[in-house]
Amino acid sequence: MDTVHTLADLRTAVDHWKRQGHSIAFVPTMGNLHAGHFALIKAARSRADRVVASVFVNPTQFGEGEDFESYPRTLEADQRGLADHGCDLLYAPDVQDMYNTAAPRAAVHVPVVSDGLCGERRPGHFDGVATVVIKLINRVTPDCALFGEKDYQQLMVLRKMAADLDLATEIVGIPTVRESDGLAMSSRNQYLSPAERRVAGQLHAALERCALKIKQGEQVEKSIETERKKLSKSGFRVEYFELRRARDLAEISSPASESVLLVAAKLGSARLIDNMRFRHEGPSQN
Ligand code: AMP
């Protein structure tokens, strides 16, 4: 696997493959790679002739007081992991290569779907994500780009961006990879102390119990309130715990035919997010 750091070198490699008629699948990341990222690489392998990954800790998607400076940067280990999982090319630009034009710059805002949930707690976050993803896609020009369902709102924002801006690249979602206790794998899990790590799996358990109760007909508000309280008792500081329509994150008060429960909570200094999609057979709010 080759690593390139500049747009010029990326274009040389990609143009070469395109002349040979190869299709390209793309996996954007912020690095510090784990099994969740490698599941995306594996899925990318099965979808295209060539796989390109990027590692870029994007400053514009971090808010003030967030962990941009301390975000774990482990490029050498990432290179080894990507090579082991069949990635063909790593693009690891620096900030100067990525934002190479004068400020103020054009940016992408995806209305409504960016607004609530994480968008409300992290103002500007999804504008940063959407803008860097469209820049990366314009640079790599892949046939498809793969994203984890773990960041469900992000996936919905990017799907809406792709639809609204007529992106030729297909946006593909990949199921969440979890630890054995259900905790969604994340680079931020390493901020957890050993004691916090022991309770962190409760987040997924809460989603599972809540989804089950709603499916069994319990009132949505009541099921959510019960789980919120349990999480608080375990030491989580819950930012949101909400039921939304799965296909577009529209607000709903009773289950849609396909719904998603989304949660964000702080545990110690780690901010954890997770979600669970489920189908509802009976009468539903579509
Ligand atoms: P990040 O490096 O955190 O920006 O993540 C890069 C990509 O990997 C995003 O599309 C994430 O949604 C995805 N991802 C992160 N963690 C997981 C996981 N546990 N399972 C599946 N995909 C994940």
pLDDT-derived band at 281 (thresholds 50, 70, 90) equals confident
CATH of segment(s) 2-174: 3.40.50.620
Ligand 1 near 147 CB (within 6 A): yes
What average pLDDT does range 68-92 have in this prediction? 97
State which ligand 1 atom lies nearest to the alpha carbon of 149: 12
pTM, 2 dp: 0.97
72 Cα to the center of ligand 1, angstroms:
14
Is 85 a residue of the active site? Answer: no
CA-30 nearest atom, ligand 1 = 2
- For 17-33, what is each residue's pLDDT tens digit? 999 999 999 999 999 99
Q: Which of 5, 37, 204, 280 is catalytic?
A: 37
Per-residue pLDDT for 285 more than 60?
Answer: no
How far, in Å, is the centroid of ligand 1 from the Cα of 251? 25
Query: Is the Cβ atom of 40 under 6 angstroms away from ligand 1?
Result: yes
Tens of pLDDT, residues 167-199:
999 999 999 999 999 999 999 999 999 999 999
Instruction: Determine the topology of domain 187-276 in CATH.
Output: Pantoate--beta-alanine Ligase; Chain: A,domain 2 (3.30.1300)
**Distance from the CA of 40 to the center of ligand 1, in angstroms?**
8
Residue 270 near ligand 1, beta carbon < 6 Å: no
Q: Which atom of ligand 1 is nearest to the CA of 177?
A: 20
So where are the chain's domains? 2-174, 187-276
**C-alpha dist (Å) from residue 99 to 107, 113, 153, 229:** 11, 25, 25, 44
pLDDT tens-digit map of 220-239: 999 999 999 999 999 999 99
SS (H, E, C) the chain: CEEECCHHHHHHHHHHHHHCCCCEEEEEECCCCCHHHHHHHHHHHCCCCEEEEEECCCHHHCCCCCCCCCCCCCHHHHHHHHHHCCCCEEECCCHHHHCCCCCCCCCCCCCCCCCCHHHHHCCCHHHHHHHHHHHHHHHHCCCEEEEEHHHHHHHHHHHHHHHHCCCCCEEEEECCCECCCCCECCHHHHHCCHHHHHHHCHHHHHHHHHHHHHHCCCCHHHHHHHHHHHHHHCCCEEEEEEEEECCCCCECCCCCCEEEEEEEEEECCEEEEEEEEEECCCCCCC
* Residue 280's pLDDT band (cuts 50, 70, 90): confident
Ligand 1 atom with the shortest distance to the CA of 147: 10
Say if ligand 1 is within 6 A of residue 173 CB: no
pLDDT at 51: 98
Give the ligand 1 atom nearest the CA of 187: 3
256, amino acid identity: A
pLDDT of residue 215: 95
Same fold across 2-174 and 187-276: no
Q: Whose CA is nearest to atom 14 of ligand 1?
A: 148
End-to-end CA distance of the chain: 46
CA of 174 to the centre of ligand 1 (A): 9
Write down the pLDDT at residue 283: 61
Does residue 186's CB lie within 6 angstroms of at least one atom of ligand 1?
yes
Nearest CA to ligand 1 atom 5: 29
* Ligand 1 pocket test, candidate residues 61, 82, 150, most atoms within 8 A of CB: 150
Tell me the pLDDT tens digit for each residue of 135-170. 999 999 999 999 999 999 999 999 999 999 999 999
Contact present, 250 and 259 (Cβ < 8 Å): no
Find the 172 Cα to ligand 1 centroid distance in Å.
Answer: 12
